[in-house]
């Protein structure tokens, strides 16, 4: 009986100690467990002298799926959906330059064309031949530009709440950032985190106060650089959206959106549908800006249904 109690309570005591004494290690453990569940491991490749960390999972003999994260995100934005994708696909999810564990060089160009060209270099370095390319938010804009700039280099395109296209209605983000004196996507301090999460996610999860300094450490450390990158892409989206170029997309295209997206209004969906011939769309009624995080199982089901046809 004593042994049974030890087996039951020892892990709980260990987690409690990590929570109170070493919250950073607890978060790292959670990240490791999430990757383990999704069957992904972290690797890296040198591209143009720059180290690119990325997650890889699934059978290399299966269809290839290249996943591109959004602004202020990283490769682990795809870790929650990975368990539903790695069963059927060979998944690659990199950190883009300026984000995650990739180089944070403020002297780099962070416009969409530059990031798209770098993503193609990354794909070439890994010899990723005609992957299915999917991206969320800024990553969706990069994925869309990838389809335009390298039409023969991808098998299909999946856009999840992608930036780079203007809909009929302005989003909350566009309204708040209109005067260029306030960036709603950059943290002022830890107390500002709840506001930011509520803007991105329709039903924000609870995060213990003790873990917040760990979760948002990078966002605060690189706040000024993230702010600079935001205005580069925000101004590009305002002045040079891809609305008029959508007809050039030849890859089979899936459009996924959350009805409650406050960053990129759902009115972008009919614009994308009308512009990209043969595209199909799915709008989640209970989701905000990041479907692959808010409802990974349902998002994966929609993606897999589309990818199975191509």
Q: What is the pLDDT of residues 272-304, one digit of tens each?
A: 999 999 999 999 999 999 999 999 999 999 999
**What value, to the nearest 5°, has the Cα angle with vertex 93 and ends 92 and 94?**
120
The answer to whether residues 204 and 194 touch, using CB atoms and an 8 Å cutoff, is yes
DSSP code per residue over 58-73: S-TTSPEEEEE--TT-
Confidence of residue 179 (pLDDT cuts 50, 70, 90): confident
- Per DSSP (E only), the strands in 35-164 are 40-47, 50-57, 64-68, 90-94, 132-136, 156-160
Q: What is the pLDDT of residues 186-224, one digit of tens each?
A: 999 999 999 999 999 999 999 999 999 999 999 999 999
Residue 34, judged by CB atoms within 10 A of its CB (0-12, 13-18, 19+), counts as: middle
Q: What is the mean pLDDT of the chain?
A: 93
Looking at residue 180, its pLDDT comes to 79
Q: What is the pLDDT of residues 70-113, one digit of tens each?
A: 999 999 999 999 999 999 999 999 999 999 999 999 999 999 99
CA distance 81 to 166: 27
Q: What is the pLDDT of residues 215-237, one digit of tens each?
A: 999 999 999 999 999 999 999 99
Domain 23-307 superfamily per CATH = Alpha/Beta hydrolase fold, catalytic domain (3.40.50.1820)
Which of 302, 294, 306, 283 minimizes the C-alpha distance to 80? 294
User: pTM for the full model?
Assistant: 0.93
CA distance 235 to 230: 8
**pLDDT over 80 (residue 31):** yes
């Amino acid at each position: 009986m004593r042994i049974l109690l030890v087996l039951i309570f020892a892990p709980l005591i260990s987690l409690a100690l990590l929570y109170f004494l070493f919250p950073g290690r607890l978060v790292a453990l959670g990240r490791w467990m999430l990757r383990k569940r999704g069957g992904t491991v972290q690797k890296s490749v040198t591209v143009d002298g720059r180290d690119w960390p990325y997650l890889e999972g699934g059978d290399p003999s299966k269809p290839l799926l290249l996943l591109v994260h959004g602004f202020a995100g990283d490769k682990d934005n795809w870790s929650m959906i990975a368990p539903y994708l790695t069963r059927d696909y060979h998944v690659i999810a990199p950190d883009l330059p300026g984000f995650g564990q990739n180089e944070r060089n403020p002297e780099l160009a962070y416009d969409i064309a530059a990031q798209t060209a770098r993503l193609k270099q990354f794909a070439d370095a890994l010899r990723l031949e005609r992957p299915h390319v999917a991206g969320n938010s800024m990553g969706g804009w990069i994925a869309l530009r990838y389809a335009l700039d390298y039409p023969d280099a991808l098998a299909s395109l999946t856009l999840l709440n992608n930036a780079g296209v203007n809909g009929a209605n302005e989003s909350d983000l566009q309204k708040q950032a209109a005067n260029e004196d306030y960036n709603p996507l950059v943290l002022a301090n830890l107390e500002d985190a709840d506001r930011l999460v509520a803007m991105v996610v329709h039903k924000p999860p609870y995060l213990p106060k003790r873990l917040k300094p760990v979760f948002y450490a990078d966002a605060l450390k690189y706040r000024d650089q993230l702010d600079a990158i935001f205005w580069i892409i925000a101004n590009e989206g305002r002045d040079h959206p891809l609305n008029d170029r959508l007809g050039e997309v030849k890859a089979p295209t899936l459009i996924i959106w959350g009805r409650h997206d406050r960053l990129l209004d759902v009115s972008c969906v009919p614009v994308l549908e009308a512009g990209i011939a043969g595209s199909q769309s799915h709008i989640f009624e209970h989701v905000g800006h990041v479907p692959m995080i808010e409802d990974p199982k349902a998002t994966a089901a929609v993606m897999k249904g589309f990818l199975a046809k191509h």
